[in-house]
Structure 1
Amino acid sequence: MTGPTASFIDHDPNGRLHLQHGPIDLIIGVDGAISLELEAYFRAHAFAHANRRFRTVLDELMAELPLLKSQALTGCALPQGQIAKRMMTAVLPFADTGFITPMAAVAGAVADEVLAAMLASFDGQERPRRIYVNNGGDIALHLDEQADFRIRMAREDGAHLGDFAVDAASPTRGIATSGRGGRSLSMGIADSVTVLASNAAAADAAATIVANAVDLPGHAAVQRLPANRVVDDSDLGARLVTVDCGDLSDAEVTAALDAGGAKAQSLMTQGLVHRAGLFLKSQGHLVTADLETIAMPARSGPLLESKRYA
């Protein structure tokens, strides 16, 4: 494995920064200042500190990997590294309700840590109005004043599923997506579940839990395999994960999404989730801050319009 690399998207130092090391792949954006000159300075300063912090991230995680791949339980041993601590903090709220390891929050925790390193490098309020760290779809946000951020949800084939908008007044500073179509394994059948929460690690862990809950246990159209047969060193061990989901009736899709929506509502009541979008086949459910699950009917084309998230 090569060491950490840094490059500018489109070879433009005034664009976005790409940091990559092994499985970790970050896209970082920095913008917002009273002048273009100050914005360019802020961006270069933030990028330098992001790159500096990123250099040791993978080594730090590897040093505690056995613990991070073990089931999180109340009273379990706690990790020492800062990123590992973020991971454990994110998953412990779910420790007594089902199986979860700190690895469920690794992508979000890395994004949070790199964002924190950039913010810590600025003196007081003299900093960019917006910074985002996108780690494979799990996103840590900094938003000041009038800054906002919009995340577009899409199927693997590129079909637009809708947008989530976050502004500076919102408590949301983390966005994560999980499901059987992503980079990680899922015990559920959701195509994707996008969750908004207080930080990226918290959103990452919650998205895993909600995606697992979108399910039809024992259904003949759902193919499952032990996780360690899909990924040799999976932290899920021999637990069954979904590898394929065949044809389902509209009623079955609705039932699976209802199960996931109920889990998202429960997490929202506990303050662990701010909003969530759940998608399966041609249907989607939107769980909103007023604890209402809105079932979107099956149809062709985009499932949700952006204005539903405003």
Structure 2
Amino acid sequence: MSQGAMNQTGMTGASAAWLPGYPRRLHLQHGPIDLVIQADGVPAAVAAAYDRAWARFQTILTELVSELALLRTALPDPSASTAMIFPRGHVARRMVAACLPYAVDFITPMAAVAGSVADEILAAMRDGAALDRIYVNNGGDIALHLAPGQSLRIGLVTRDDAPELGGFAELRSADASRGIATSGWRGRSFSRGIADAVTVLACNAAQADAAATIIANAVNAEHPNIVRAPANSIHDDSDLGEIPVTVTVGTLPISLMRQALSAGATVAHDLRRRGLIHAAHLVLGDCVETIGGASALPDAALEMVS
């Protein structure tokens, strides 16, 4: 996409525009997919990377829609004899790979769609180019590239539906984390739990996205002030079908919130032990749990400060 061009619309209905301010950020939008992208490096390499992002982005939604029925289907338990049918599209395959570790319980590949799209655009932008930094932010699910010596400070939200920051994650090139994702009942996707926000750092955005969904589901409790409804009663095409999802969380006893957050933290610790995540930041009301800070990651430069 030419640095001088302000707006473009693809034949598929996808749109691209530069956001105001400096450094320049590219905004790509198509249906429910909404990306904000920034790349740093040699100007010619940055311009070419933005062109590749735009070219790849224009086909992604069409590819996903063509296999939507499969992507909304629960993945089979790996220990069962059910044959696994893999999708054709690159993004769809990223989704399946990220969600397969959790297929012992109910999960569909849609749990990792936002992170997988971010990873796909990042891969297109890198494609051999020598760039210093890239981030692809898909509604808070972020894929990162950090060249040696580079770092990026990312704000952590306390609610998945609001911009208020509750801490920061400092990611450096020596760290293994290249993906960050947030999930919670207040966000744009359904949650079976009551977490305000669960932010996860992992190898890539797809893995972070799937794990954030799982951990947020585990931050759970029963109380009259917690209202749930079948997912398909809110959106009739939800991949969760009749599974109850959280609609409202009212005032809760502090002891109950701590218990719910502890349940989520237990799952996060297990995922970290299994190598599926690097760190997690869980928020429910005034209760906060952080798993995997600098003291817990002696071989990395990751710091999570709440």
TM-score by length of 2: 0.88
% same residue:
49
Q: Extract unaligned runs of 5+ from structure 1.
A: 33-38, 293-305
Structure 2 residue 233 is matched with structure 1 residue 229: yes
State the AA in 1 paired with 2:185. Answer: R
Q: C-alpha offsets along residues 86-132 of structure 1, whole Å, 9 cap, x if unaligned?
A: 00000000001x1100000000000000100111152xxxx111011
Matches within 5 A, 1:1-310: 3-10=13-20, 15-32=24-41, 39-73=42-76, 74=78, 75-96=83-104, 98-122=105-129, 127-154=130-157, 155=159, 156-216=161-221, 218-288=222-292, 308-309=304-305
**d(CA) in 1 for partners of 2:54, 2:114:** 17
**d(CA) in 2 for partners of 1:6, 1:202:** 27
State the AA in 2 paired with 1:30. Answer: A
**d(CA) in 2 for partners of 1:173, 1:157:** 23
Q: Is the 8 A contact 2:294 2:304 kept in 1?
A: no
State the AA in 2 paired with 1:31. Answer: D
Q: C-alpha offsets along residues 213-262 of structure 1, whole Å, 9 cap, x if unaligned?
A: 0000x321110000001112100000000000111111111001000000
Q: Is the 8 A contact 2:228 2:246 kept in 1?
A: yes
- Following TM superposition, by how much is the alpha carbon of 1:157 offset from its aligned partner in structure 2, in angstroms? 4.8
Question: Secondary structure of 1:206's match?
Answer: helix
State the AA in 2 paired with 1:102. Answer: P
Task: Supply the RMSD in Å over aligned alpha carbons.
Answer: 2.0
Q: C-alpha offsets along residues 131-168 of structure 1, whole Å, 9 cap, x if unaligned?
A: 11000000000011111112112234543210111100
**d(CA) in 1 for partners of 2:165, 2:177:** 22
**d(CA) in 1 for partners of 2:92, 2:209:** 14
Q: Extract unaligned runs of 5+ from structure 2.
A: 1-10, 297-301
TM-score by length of 1: 0.87
- Following TM superposition, by how much is the alpha carbon of 1:2 offset from its aligned partner in structure 2, in angstroms? 7.0
Q: C-alpha offsets along residues 253-302 of structure 1, whole Å, 9 cap, x if unaligned?
A: 1001000000000000000010000001111110115897xxxxxxxxxx
Match for residue 297 of structure 1?
none
Q: Is the 8 A contact 1:46 1:121 kept in 2?
A: no
**d(CA) in 2 for partners of 1:307, 1:78:** 37
Q: 1:243 to 1:85 in 2, by over 3 A?
A: same
Aligned length: 284
- Following TM superposition, by how much is the alpha carbon of 1:210 offset from its aligned partner in structure 2, in angstroms? 0.2
**d(CA) in 1 for partners of 2:114, 2:56:** 15
**d(CA) in 2 for partners of 1:194, 1:183:** 14
Query: Which stretch shows the higher mean deviation, 71-80 or 106-115?
Result: 71-80
Question: Secondary structure of 1:56's match?
Answer: helix
Q: Is the 8 A contact 1:2 1:22 kept in 2?
A: no
**d(CA) in 1 for partners of 2:236, 2:127:** 38
Q: 1:55 to 1:121 in 2, by over 3 A?
A: farther
